[in-house]
């Protein structure tokens, strides 16, 4: 039987404002800050304190809502979501239950085959992040309240996603938008952005909804893709063996490359939501929404159109360059430094991505490589002025990637400049022809491909340091005149 996956995504994005959602504490990088140093009476849940809404967090939420083509609510209300857990000092989380700030939107995603697809956004609501628990091997648990109260936007899609590839495409596009808006770094390994797929499968062509599982603790988009792929396979196996998928929360085991049971859900939680009495109803004026809309930065789709039109790039290159804001910024800096857009795009998506993959860097980490956009343009300049050829440039790039430095200085230090003295080039050609009389006979009998072999011999004799086009031209002349 053919099966189809049905996936909805729940995304938690911290809004990287200066201060927390309901107090003045700074929003810090919780992976590096000393524990419990960015805390106060409000975000540690002391009795008698009052929360105050962070205007900037509301503004960030409106920006994301607009970027996701949502309706921005005029009437906003905050609610208490009650549950008991050590990471929640008040015993409740302030969230938005029945009146989310944004709803009924969509995001167009770009699929590997070049097509696009519309994924509906059900809602996005504001809430506060919880504290962070660390469980030690001796059985003790530690709580860090630095994260408690950081503004959080929860985004929920409709179950319009039907494969791991589509989930990945959605994740990449959404992350790019958050980065472009400057509201979230997109660093899933630090937990500031969390994506949780709800997955079920059904016979292809049916419209039933079967029991779904939720996969948590995914620290990269690549892992979300792999986890979705494996979870889909697992569920199909269960159904095909005559079993039934249980409603449960699963985690991703990176080592075994499989999803594992975290906890089963016996029943839905009763959070006893009720309106937060300490906060007033929040009305969002239409003028404010329009003012925010007017100063929204350029988003990935608009940037891609600009690259297609203005720079004459192909659709694939343009898509790859805008998928991460850091890549687009790097590309534009190189073009500004005088690089030809098409050539620069080729070097980034080819050689630089190759080196970054080898050293395990994610695309958004392009700023961490020792090759600046200006250095890349300088290297391309050495090809353009015939100092080195393309193959030598790749060798220079490898050295730059490992050690940094200046391309011209590296070419000089390693003796990589092309031989331009035509008498030396001619001598190398003559030597090769002298040594290969039978090949010349074959060439004279019409075997064109022999020229390629001889060309390779000449380039090898010159250590690869010659202008291939010039050699080809000289070789043709020499062959024609030989004997």
Residues that bind Zn ion (CB under 5 A): 23, 25, 40, 42-43
* Residue 63: CB minimum distance to Zn ion, A: 24
Closer residue to Zn ion, CB minimum distance, 37 or 469: 37
* Residue 394: CB minimum distance to Zn ion, A: 52
Give the SS3 label for residue 298.
Answer: coil
* Residue 91: CB minimum distance to Zn ion, A: 17
Closer residue to Zn ion, CB minimum distance, 149 or 300: 149
Spell out where 351-474 has E strands: none
Closer residue to Zn ion, CB minimum distance, 128 or 196: 128
* Residue 39: CB minimum distance to Zn ion, A: 6
Q: List all residues 6 or more positions away from 467 whose beta carbon is below 8 Å from its beta carbon.
A: 386, 389, 418, 420
Closer residue to Zn ion, CB minimum distance, 23 or 428: 23
What phi-psi label fits residue 427: left (phi over 0), alpha (psi between -120 and 50 degrees) or beta?
Answer: alpha
DSSP code per residue over 310-348: HS---HHHHHHHHSSHHHHHHHHHHHHTT--HHHHHHHI
* Residue 101: CB minimum distance to Zn ion, A: 22
As a whole number of angstroms, the distance between CA 78 and CA 407 comes to 57
* Residue 322: CB minimum distance to Zn ion, A: 37
Long-range contacts (CB closer than 8 Å, 24 or more residues apart) made by 463-468: 464/389, 464/391, 464/392, 465/388, 465/389, 465/392, 465/416, 465/417, 465/418, 465/419, 466/389, 466/418, 466/419, 466/425, 467/386, 467/389, 467/418, 467/420, 468/389
As a whole number of angstroms, the distance between CA 447 and CA 458 comes to 18
The alpha carbon of 259 is separated from its chain's Cα centroid by a whole number of angstroms, namely 22
* Residue 37: CB minimum distance to Zn ion, A: 11
As a whole number of angstroms, the distance between CA 142 and CA 87 comes to 10
Closer residue to Zn ion, CB minimum distance, 43 or 466: 43
* Residue 128: CB minimum distance to Zn ion, A: 10
* Residue 408: CB minimum distance to Zn ion, A: 53
Q: Cα angle vertex 310, ends 308, 311, to 5°?
A: 70
Closer residue to Zn ion, CB minimum distance, 28 or 40: 40
| Selection from 315, 329, 28 nearest residue 176 by Cα | 329
Closer residue to Zn ion, CB minimum distance, 20 or 304: 20
* Residue 22: CB minimum distance to Zn ion, A: 8
Q: Which helix (H) or strand (E) holds 291?
A: helix 286-294
Closer residue to Zn ion, CB minimum distance, 40 or 399: 40
DSSP code per residue over 104-128: EEEEEEE-TTS-EEEEEEEEEEEEE
Q: List all residues 6 or more positions away from 268 whose beta carbon is below 8 Å from its beta carbon.
A: none
Closer residue to Zn ion, CB minimum distance, 43 or 201: 43
Closer residue to Zn ion, CB minimum distance, 23 or 155: 23
Closer residue to Zn ion, CB minimum distance, 43 or 411: 43
Residue 43 buriedness (CB in 10 A; 0-12 / 13-18 / 19+): buried
Block residue for tokens 């596009």: 173
The runs of H, that is alpha helices, within 141-245 are: 164-181, 221-240
Contact present, 18 and 58 (Cβ < 8 Å): no
* Residue 41: CB minimum distance to Zn ion, A: 7
């Amino acid at each position: 039987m053919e099966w189809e996956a049905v996936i909805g995504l729940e995304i938690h994005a911290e809004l990287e404002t200066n201060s927390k959602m309901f107090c003045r504490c700074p929003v810090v990088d919780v992976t590096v800050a000393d524990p419990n140093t960015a805390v106060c009476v409000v975000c540690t849940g002391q009795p008698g304190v009052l929360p105050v809404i962070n205007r900037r967090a509301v503004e960030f939420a409106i920006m994301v809502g607009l970027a996701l083509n949502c309706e921005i609510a005029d009437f906003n209300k905050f609610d208490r979501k009650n549950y008991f857990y050590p990471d929640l000092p008040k015993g409740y989380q302030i969230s938005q239950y029945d009146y989310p700030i944004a709803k009924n939107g969509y995001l167009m995603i770009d699929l590997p085959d070049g097509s696009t697809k519309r994924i509906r956004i059900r809602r996005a609501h504001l809430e506060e992040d919880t504290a962070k628990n660390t469980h030690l091997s001796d059985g003790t648990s530690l709580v860090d309240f630095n994260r408690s109260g950081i503004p959080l936007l929860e985004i929920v899609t409709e179950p319009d996603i039907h494969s791991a590839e589509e989930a990945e495409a959605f994740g990449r596009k959404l992350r790019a938008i958050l980065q472009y808006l400057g509201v979230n770094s997109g660093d899933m390994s630090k937990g500031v952005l969390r994506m949780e797929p709800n997955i079920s499968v059904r016979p292809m062509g049916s419209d039933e909804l079967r029991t779904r599982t939720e996969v948590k603790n995914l620290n990269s988009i690549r892992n979300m893709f792999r986890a979705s792929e494996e979870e889909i396979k697992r569920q199909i196996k269960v159904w095909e063996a005559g079993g039934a998928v249980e409603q449960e929360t699963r985690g991703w085991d990176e080592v075994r490359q499989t999803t594992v049971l975290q906890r089963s859900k016996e029943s839905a939680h009763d959070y006893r939501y009720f309106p937060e009495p300490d906060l007033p109803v929040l009305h969002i004026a239409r003028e404010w929404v329009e003012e925010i809309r007017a100063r929204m930065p350029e988003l990935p789709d608009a940037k891609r159109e600009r690259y297609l039109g203005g720079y004459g790039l192909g659709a694939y290159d343009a898509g790859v360059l805008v998928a991460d804001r850091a890549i687009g910024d790097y590309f534009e800096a190189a073009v500004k430094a005088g690089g030809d857009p098409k050539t620069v795009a080729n070097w980034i998506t080819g050689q630089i991505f190759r080196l970054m993959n080898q050293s395990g860097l994610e695309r958004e980490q392009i700023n961490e490589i020792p090759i600046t956009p200006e250095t890349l343009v300088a290297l391309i300049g050495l090809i353009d002025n015939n100092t080195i050829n393309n193959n030598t440039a790749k060798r220079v790039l490898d050295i730059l990637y490992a050690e940094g430095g200046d391309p011209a200085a590296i070419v000089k230090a390693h003796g990589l400049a092309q031989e331009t003295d035509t008498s030396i080039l001619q001598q190398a050609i003559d030597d090769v022809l002298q040594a290969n009389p039978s090949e010349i006979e074959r060439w004279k009998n019409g075997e064109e491909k022999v020229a390629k072999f001889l060309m390779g011999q000449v380039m090898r004799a010159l250590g690869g340091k010659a202008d291939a086009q010039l050699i080809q031209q000289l070789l043709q002349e020499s062959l024609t005149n030989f004997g």
